Amino acid sequence: MTAFDEIKLTQMAKRAGCAAKHPPGYLLPLLGLLPALTDPNVLVGSATADDAAVYKLSDELALVLTTDFFTPIVDHPYDFGAVAAANALSDVYAMGGRPLAALNLVGFPEDLLPPAVLGEILRGAAAKAQEAGIDIVGGHTIKTDEPIFGLAVVGTVHPQKVLTNAGAQPGDRLILTKPIGIGIITTAAKGGEDKLGAIREAIAVMSTLNRQAAEVITEMGAHAVTDVTGFGLLGHLRNMTAASQVSAEIWLARVPVLAAAWDYVRAGVAPGGTHANWRFLADWVTYAADIDKEEQLVLADAQTSGGLLVAVAADQADAMLSALHQAGVTAAQMVGRITNTSEPGHINVSRG
């Protein structure tokens, strides 16, 4: 027991983690109303639904800029801080970048929770930042009705080595580096229905940095990379295939899934964000006749701090997969391939 075992942060959150994200398609029409980007040094902006912006400083050096924050996805304040930090850092890794420093973004209900809870959130985040080899150098705190936490992260990348959503090519293999099903498990835990105690494993997955995976991927070279968060595996793959003007195929039997997620989704548990993803994906995804609704929901499940999804040349895919396993990214699997250019953004799901 610690002083924080009584705290149930998720009970204060109306929507948890990346499931609190607006559904795909919500922001895009609004971005269209804003002035077009004019600075030629913006190498990656908001046009391709990428993970982070990239700003060129010189021919050798570019900044990676990103922010991510959300309401509690887990009950313990320390875990919440660690997960939120790992999630925010992930967008730098997903661009092929190396984080430099970060700032805390905090909303805290000071009349509902003692300040020590915020201290634990910040301590969890600081530990993750340390693991990433960076310091958290400042931040900003406001009063809110629910706790909100995340980071703004700055990193660097070589301007020629930026990994975006947009480079996937027909024939590429797709590798996913973490298991999915996190949204389903955290929703079960929040509702007191985590009978299998799967939340511990889910927290371990969420608080694992994508650092090791990113090091292997940047060293070996990939055509396109994104991290799998609120839009789910299929939603982020849809963004990748649309930006790359290609279509793709997912092999369900190869997709790593946290085992308890199957039990819970079949018992009717899935976050609202997952259902929203599934509805949005109806226009983009063709499921084989033997893929049932629950399997479709798992593939669309809103993740928090999920793994990297990589499109890599077919002749390098096996080598990358073994290098990932050797680097400790043991859950990594080859989950599908990029097919052709005739239906940009389209995905076929088969059992595989």
Which residues are known to be catalytic? 18
Which of 9, 21, 68, 296 forms a contact with Co ion (CB under 5 A)? Answer: 68
| Using rule CB under 5 A, residue 50 touches Co ion | no
Q: Are 103 and 152 in contact (CB under 8 A)?
A: yes
Q: Are 71 and 20 in contact (CB under 8 A)?
A: yes
Q: Are 9 and 75 in contact (CB under 8 A)?
A: yes
| Using rule CB under 5 A, residue 91 touches Co ion | yes
The site for Co ion, by CB under 5 A, has a size of 4
| Using rule CB under 5 A, residue 227 touches Co ion | yes
Q: How far apart are CA 348 and CA 97, in angstroms?
A: 31
Residue 198 or 228 having the CB closest to Co ion: 228
Structure token pair of residue 172? 């590429």
| Cβ 219 to Co ion shortest distance, Å | 21
- Closest residue to Co ion in the complex (CB): 51
Q: Which bin fits 192, alpha (ψ -120 to 50), beta or left (φ > 0)?
A: left
| Using rule CB under 5 A, residue 172 touches Co ion | no
The region of 88-96, 105-113, 207-215, 343-351 touching Co ion under the rule CB under 5 A is 88-96
The region of 224-232, 238-246, 247-255, 310-318 touching Co ion under the rule CB under 5 A is 224-232
Q: How far apart are CA 25 and CA 345, in angstroms?
A: 14
Which of 51, 120, 146, 194 forms a contact with Co ion (CB under 5 A)? Answer: 51
The H or E element containing residue 120 is helix 115-131
Q: How far apart are CA 264 and CA 275, in angstroms?
A: 14
Residue 227 or 263 having the CB closest to Co ion: 227
Site for Co ion, residues 6 to 25, rule: CB under 5 A = none
Q: Which residues bind Co ion (CB under 5 A)?
A: 51, 68, 91, 227
